[in-house]
Structure 1
């Protein structure tokens, strides 16, 4: 049996391993706290890279700020945390309250910790990320619990965010523009989150980030560093306001930005927009071509090639040469082929510059090329987003929600597949979930969303608080419920297969006691006091979710509970994982599970009924299912 690690991925260890694969001679071992650990010999690495090393005061291009190193440490540091299921707040696949069979996720908690917990389970699996982070306008409240210190060679939180009852506590502070660390604090907040989020994107994935002028410049530099400048796609301009503000001091600002980066620009393919009647109306058929309406386009290009620089004789007899400094886009043979196929147009009088005919019948399935300006007439404006929330709740319970039409446009640009995963880790009112459910209803897709939101308290004097919503998570979950019901009503019979629910989970400390992570640090008196390595208030369902995270099993996987010889056994992903966390597990239970031949079998350390069951455990699996990976916690 193997012990489960029960903590998030250690990115420093992953980086050491990656460098070691490239330069095995730079991999060494050092003694830390009495234990041998792998490390990188920088002297050897320096020799391997000596021609390209920049050091000391040598000038180099760099984007930096105070505490950037701490932000990098915050991104790389592993955490001992978990997600606990909140079944009462969950909604089933068909909209049933309190059911836990949806493949969508709504997660409450600090998004940096949640992203870290996802690093193995959702590594490279997310097709699209959209976030609408604080814009740092001078009144935003941030959460500062990302400071890390070194203790005994391990990263630990410098400000433990838990109260005396074990509940997470977040330190909200307004980042006023009078703050001397105004941009620094915002960068320290956004940088580690984007670094971790990158690892979740699929190779053909894409990220969209809403921002305004306050941090647009810094955000683009951060994204260039994290995602690579070569993976920049566009800085979309969203026309968020439909009328000017007459009280503006200088200029009435009517737009926001949406930065768009690919995980790998060579693997990403943009989603095209549906063709419109207005676009199709530009196609005509002045020569009655039997292939239908067409539009002509220029056949000259700037990239000069001598073989494409030739004379063309128009039907009128006029000899035409390419414009100065340009050549034709077609070789002479290719041009003659298209001329013979009646695909070259010289104008109605046969005396014009040649242009190539492009038929609507041959283009209609390709869609329209997106443009970088998102006009409100096409994607909605900020007041439309506010109106959508007001109509769902009969009150304006959330400030600044993005319109569903804007999110729908981004879903299109992301070129989602029918089963893609979409992540929003600043989910706010859950407009992204609303848009994705609507898209699934429209085309029968089974795309899944993951919403992550901190349980930020609502203003006691505000509309949301008076309506009964004590934090933003309550608003987000309720919007998904109401939007799902509305979509189901509008879809009618087509709603039968739609997933309009979500599994609710909440970030918390690990299910395991301190002795699980540091058994050597427990004194003899403490050892006798430890009757179990699982915290007393944790349920088998809590243990199952942390097990799924540890083994890299999607949290949307189907879960059923079976009874085997009087014990509860969790069946995850149709037998991929069988887990039993009950006590007094007998040989009969172990044998029954082994005969099912799961990929993984997990038990508690204190599960076995007696020494005989513990002794026979590995023998039973060796006999019935030797390939099963057996783990304990």
Structure 2
């Protein structure tokens, strides 16, 4: 496998392991609804630390990851601020904004992405997938990074998304019209994509000019390029005209199959009966959805201008974010994932589009998808979370809400088939007309745009939902606990120990600081004798005793028990001699014990 070499790689190779755990600190007043860590989350803080903070509860649990990292164009001013503790790398790994003149900006970008991708890989479920938007500045490097971390066989596709539909006339050489969406699966054998729903315009391609009782149909070519000797014969039309396969082509069926289709009325010779023979393919026979393709046009998955207009609608005519992604892009990804109970993670949350798309999908189909957003910039509250608040509760808006329903590039072919185009528009009007005050049709920049318009006064309707807003607490450093320098809460320390000891995720709902209970894993029931009180930790109450061991054994004699505590007043030999199935893990050395194992 080809390896990407970049400066600093040896220092960031396992940097994700050295990142300390930092607990999630709930800021209840900034969220909506009950504060809970197993629901929708918005986390403000360095996304490397935020991803590490999610590990104890969400490792192997995320169904879909969508990220829109810095494109590293040289004009973004993003900063590398990871604290990699190596003197040789500290010379150039600093928090200064990285610009076009930085000769090592590509190395720094790779060094920034590597540990984050490592953690994202661990957070993904075995059936999960990651979708990354990038442009030509880093897409080729990102693919090699992903090949190394996920494996070459995990590559699914490089979607090409048409981010703009009008050429940039100020471009130096060529107008940049697309971005890449790299797609990788955690485990290719367990990953599957759904189908893309058939649009109204696509359904409108099926017509019924002969009033066939089987319903609308579309004509399908009877010839194929694949050599098929049985497909060489002459077809005679209703008026006696004869038809042979086109040059270097063959009928796709043999004579017997053709005669069967003819008897069933499935062969069409056009409205006049003098056209070439075609097969009638009925809409009722079409699959529920279409096989997705790697070309995502702007009318299929949205475009940058659309994203800016969405932001202006929500933020009183302002667009407080320079490079938002359109909601339709992420909605298409959710459609392909096909899981209405999916957990979706976005660790470069930006304007919060991912949360908006998840909430809208739930509103549309009654699903229970959840989102986790991570944003390190200072606008995490005033922009990212504020957008989510507004789309949940509704937002002040007076004017016309516009929803693009169709966009069609006009060319000679479409002009020749103007009747078909009109039919498509009529189908859209029939289907959506009741939802809007009017369906607007306009030709602009060589395109026919169909938009649903609805007058809104004072308040746009909210989508409903809840989320919890969190910041990152101080790092949990176990070797400082007994000195009193760092005393995290039981709820912060417990999931860290649980995950490190079992490689499984803790359930925050079952943590019980009164009983010292952490939860049940596949191999152990786990306990933590701990309070964030230095004097108590030095007392006899903080030690594992024989009576405590006997008590937890009586509760579940069928299971082994692992007890974390600062000290013990009973030997492991005595615990074993009584057959209690209790193992002691000393604090603050529990992490080291687990790592050696």
Distance 1:402 1:408 in 2: 11
Matches within 5 A, 1:320-469: 320-363=243-286, 365-366=288-289, 369=292, 372-375=295-298, 377=299, 379-389=301-311, 392=314, 396-413=319-336, 415-453=337-375, 455-456=376-377
2:160 aligned residue (236, 239, 247) = 236
Counterparts of 1:202 and 1:316 in 2: how far apart (Å)? 62
Aligned residue-pair number: 508
Q: Any idea what SS the aligned residue of 1:442 has? A: helix
1:178 shift after superposition: 1.9
Tell whether the 8 Å contact from 1:434 to 1:480 is kept in structure 2 after alignment: yes
For residues 136-215 of structure 1, the aligned pairs below 5 Å read 136-140=72-76, 141-145=78-82, 147=84, 171-194=94-117, 196-198=119-121, 200-202=123-125, 204-215=127-138
Equivalent in the alignment of 1:538: 488
Q: TM-score, structure 2 length as denominator? A: 0.70
- 1:295 Cα shift? 0.7
Gap runs ≥5 in structure 2: 396-458, 531-541, 591-597
Q: Is the contact made by 1:239 and 1:373 (CA closer than 8 Å) also made in structure 2?
A: no
Q: Which residue of 1 aligns with 2:197?
A: 274
CA distance 1:207–1:310, change in 2 (3 Å): farther
| Aligned residue number for residue 581 of structure 1 | 529
Residue equivalent to 1:594: 553
CA contact (8 A) 2:562 2:585 kept: yes
Q: State the Cα distance separating 1:357 from its structure 2 match.
A: 1.8
- Counterpart among 7, 10, 23 of residue 70 in structure 1: 10
Q: 1:262–1:553: structure 2 CA closer, same or farther, 3 Å change rule?
A: closer
In 2 relative to 1, CA 203–390 (structure 1 residues): closer, same or farther, beyond 3 Å?
same
How has the CA–CA distance of structure 1 residues 320 and 412 changed in structure 2, closer, same or farther, with 3 Å as cutoff?
same
- Match of residue 537 from structure 2: none
Picking from 47, 70, 84, the partner of 1:134 is 70
Q: 1:605 aligns with which of 565, 570, 574?
A: 565
Shift of 1:408: 1.3
Aligned to 1:549: 499
Checking the alignment, whether the CA contact within 8 Å between 1:74 and 1:146 is kept in structure 2 is: no
Q: Secondary structure at the match of 1:173?
A: coil
CA distance in 1, matches of 2:96, 2:488: 32
Q: Please, which of 486, 499, 509 is the counterpart of residue 475 of structure 2? A: 509
Does the CA-based 8 Å contact 2:127-2:187 persist in structure 1?
Answer: yes
Q: Which residue of the partner structure matches residue 23 of structure 1?
A: none
Change (3 A) 1:594 1:483: farther
Tell me, what secondary structure is at the counterpart of 1:133?
A: coil
**1:237-276 counterparts in 2 under 5 A?**
237-240=161-164, 248=171, 253-263=176-186, 268-276=191-199
> Counterpart of 2:74 in 1: which secondary structure?
coil
Shift, 1:229, TM fit: 7.3
Per-residue CA deviations over 1:14-56 (Å, capped at 9, x if unaligned) read xxxxxxxxxxxxxxxxxxxxxxxxxxxxxxxxxxxxxxxxxxx
Partner of 2:534: none
For residue 80 of structure 1, report the CA deviation from its aligned partner: 5.5
Distance 2:281 2:136 in 1: 40
Structure 1 residues 293 and 593: alpha-carbon distance in aligned structure 2, compared to 1, 3 A threshold? same
Deviation at 1:292, TM superposition (A): 0.6
Q: Distance in 2 between the 1:573 and 1:483 partners?
A: 38
Give distance in 2, aligned partners of 1:474 and 1:533. 38
Q: Please list the CA deviations of residues 425-445 of structure 1 after superposition, one character each: whole Å capped at 9, or x if unmatched.
A: 222233212211221222222
CA shift, 1:212, in A, is: 2.4
- Work out whether residues 350 and 384 of structure 2, in 8 Å CA contact, stay in contact via their aligned partners in 1: yes
Q: Tell me the CA shift for residue 384 of structure 1.
A: 4.1
- Inter-CA distance 283–126: structure 2 relative to 1 (3 Å threshold): same
Give unmatched runs, 5+ long, in structure 1.
Answer: 1-60, 150-155, 161-169, 457-469, 515-530
The Cα of 1:106 is off from its aligned counterpart by 3.7
Please report how far the alpha carbon of residue 476 of structure 1 lies from its aligned counterpart in structure 2 after TM superposition.
Answer: 3.1
Mean CA deviation greater in 346-355 or 593-602: 593-602
Instruction: Give, in whole Å, the separation in 1 of the partners of 2:71 and 2:512.
Output: 48
Alpha-carbon contact 1:512-1:533 (below 8 Å) kept: no
* Contact 2:43–2:373, Cα closer than 8 Å, also in 1: yes
Deviation at 1:346, TM superposition (A): 3.0
* CA RMSD, Structure 1 to Structure 2 (Å): 4.3
Contact kept, 8 Å, 1:581 with 1:607, in 2: the verdict is no
Distance in 1, Cα, partners of 2:524 & 2:356? 31
User: Counterpart in 2 of 1:87?
Assistant: 26
- 1:233 touches 1:262 (CA, 8 Å); kept in 2? no
Structure 1 residue 301 and structure 2 residue 260: aligned? no
Determine the C-alpha separation between the residues in 1 that align with 2:567 and 2:474. Answer: 24
Q: What secondary structure does 2:162 align onto? A: strand
Alignment of 1:452-491 (within 5 A): 452-453=374-375, 455-456=376-377, 470-472=378-380, 475-486=383-394
Check whether the contact 1:109–1:507 (CA below 8 A) recurs between aligned residues: no
Q: Contact conserved, 1:110 with 1:507, CA < 8 A, in 2?
A: no
Aligned match of 2:39: 103
**8 A Cα contact 1:297 1:356, kept in partner:** yes
For residue 84 of structure 1, report the CA deviation from its aligned partner: 0.4
Query: How far apart are residue 594 of structure 1 and its match?
Result: 3.4
- Conserved 8 A contact 2:193-2:338: no
Q: 1:537 and 1:630, CA in 2 relative to 1: closer, same or farther beyond 3 A?
A: closer
| Residue pair 2:80, 2:108 contacting (<8 A) in 1 also | no
